[in-house]
Amino acid sequence: MKFKSIPGAKDILPAESHRWQHVEQTFRELSHRYNFREIRTPVFEQTELFARGIGELTDIVGKEMYTFRDRSDNSLTLKPEMTAAVVRAYLQHNLEQQQPVTKMYYLAPMFRQERPQKGRLRQFHQFGLEIIGSPHPEADAEIIVMTAEYYSLLGITNVELKINSVGCQECRPAYKDKLKEFLSPHLTELSQDSQRRFDANPLRILDSKDERDSRLTADAPLQKDHLCTECSDHFSRLQEILTETRVLYTVDGRIVRGLDYYTKTAFEFISSALGSQDALSGGGRYDLLAKELGGSNVPAVGVAGGIERLLLVLDAENLFTGNEVAPVVYLAAADNESRTWLYGVTQMLRKSGIPSDTDLMNRSLKAQMREASRQNVRFTIIAGSDERNRNEVVLKDMESGDQSPVAVDKIVDIINQKQSEN
Ligand code: HAM
């Protein structure tokens, strides 16, 4: 075969799509229960939106974006994340005029040119929540509590919530200086990546996966211990609400996130079932993003989680993830004229809401019966010229093995009745 999908961009085949539908459906229903409404934005945006929103110095903007020029020489980028796009839409359509607090959810594909590995793809899918308009810790809690409930509804137990505060414009500059002061004697011993980050983004050095970096920063000062009163109060309130709602968490001063827009709360849901790419989801508060994108000061908080990683955890925990689509009835014809007539019966069943399938290959009756067993249907309907002439079919209950003639206008009632019996 000449063509293959791009490495890191996967097909979701018919045999696995029901698992996707299950996690998506659960997320949608839960979002509606929490009064979030769906937002969908285009797959591509102006490159500048992400460069400014996520931060020029981040890995995402620096090395991972799928950026291209269209025929009018505009620089466009396939969205690597949704938050900047959601804020762009919020500002563009003046959503604040409709309600003071806007609660939105999404399920969408994202694109990042990373080195593919388990749990790390180039086209991946995120579920996400954004609350725009509230500066209060109750909004942070709403995001975290719903995410925790989502994992719990899916049956996932192997998940841990880590929260942190990364401060704000008031307290971060002084903390940054403290951190740099601590790191500067070790500067040349740090990894290349961390040395590069030292000037512009020293906080990221704290979540470096490099072992030597971890050792050198073991006693580094943490932002959570150097917060201004406002950030400190916000962080305490958030913890009180989480405790009140019985959401388990640990405070981890090293959660700094890979996107530059965070202020105050930053958090991650981690699963040890995932190996090195252990973040199931992550998020936080981003009070400065709207302003950065040219809007007014609008406080906001959100989360996004990888669906592929979620499915990996469901697999690892051996959890049931939804029912495959399967017909209830298979209709098998004994001859060609009955085949056409039986197609009419098939349509009648489908229109009555009974999932049904029939032969599309002109196969023998025996082969059709084999197909019915292969599809594991509950009922098989068989008809030949005799049945057709009497406007009847033979209905076979594949569970009990019983079979009997049934008038066409009684089929739906009988099937519905038998199904409600078990
Ligand atoms: P993020 O941490 O970059 O945050 O991504 C969120 C989640 O998406 C990750 O925890 C992970 O589960 C999944 N993910 C990220 N990259 C990949 C990849 N290459 N392959 C598979 N899964 C991946 C954000 O995107 C922020 N927009 C989250 C947010 C929303 N903050 C506020 N609101």
- Assess if residue 9 is contained within a domain: no
The pLDDT value recorded for residue 277 is: 85
CA of 281 to the centre of ligand 1 (A): 6
Please report whether residue 55 resides in a domain.
yes
Residue range of the domain that includes 42: 14-171+227-316
Packing angle of the helix pair 307-316, 14-33 (nearest 10 deg): 110
pLDDT, residue 321, reads 64
- Ligand 1 in contact with 87 (CB < 6 A)? no
**267 and 120 share one domain:** yes
d(CA 131, CA 151): 19
pLDDT, averaged per 10 consecutive residues of the chain (422 residues), comes to 95 94 97 98 98 94 97 98 98 94 98 96 98 98 98 95 97 96 94 90 90 94 98 98 98 94 98 91 98 96 98 89 83 96 98 98 97 96 97 96 97 95 80
**Residue 58 CB–ligand 1 contact under 6 Å:** no
* Domain co-membership, 135 together with 253: yes
Inside any domain, residue 362: yes
Residues 6+ apart with CB under 8 A from 348: 408, 411, 412
Ligand 1 pocket: which of 39, 90, 123, 124 to mutate (most atoms within 8 A of CB) = 124
| The pLDDT of residue 276 | 85
Task: With respect to residue 220, please indicate whether it lies within any of the assigned structural domains.
Answer: no
Strand order from edge to edge, sheet including 379-383: 356-358, 329-333, 379-383, 392-397, 403-407
309 lines ligand 1 (CB under 6 A): yes
How far is the C-alpha of 417 from the C-alpha of 422, rounded, in Å? 9
Q: Which two tokens stand for residue 297?
A: 């000061």
| H helix count then E strand count, the chain | 15, 16
In three-state secondary structure terms, 39 is: coil
In short, whether 128's Cβ falls inside 6 Å of ligand 1 is yes
Q: Say yes or no: 304 and 336 in one domain.
A: no
Q: Is 134 contained in some domain?
A: yes
What pLDDT score was predicted for residue 319?
Answer: 86
Residue 254 placed within a domain:
yes
Q: What confidence score (pLDDT) does residue 57 get?
A: 87
State which amino acid sits at residue 264. Answer: K
Give the residue from 292, 316, 340 where a domain finishes: 316
Query: pTM, whole model, 2 decimals?
Result: 0.95
Q: Is residue 421 part of a domain?
A: no
Look at residues 283, 316, 349 and tell me which one is the last residue of a structural domain. Answer: 316
Say yes or no: 279 and 335 in one domain.
Answer: no
Asked whether the beta carbons of 256 and 206 are under 8 A apart, the reply is yes
CA separation for the pair 236, 137 (Å, rounded):
9
Q: What is the pLDDT of residue 322?
A: 64
Residues 268 and 372 reside in one and the same domain: no
Whether residues 342 and 281 fall in one domain: no
CA distance 193 to 368: 63
**Does residue 219 form part of some domain?**
no
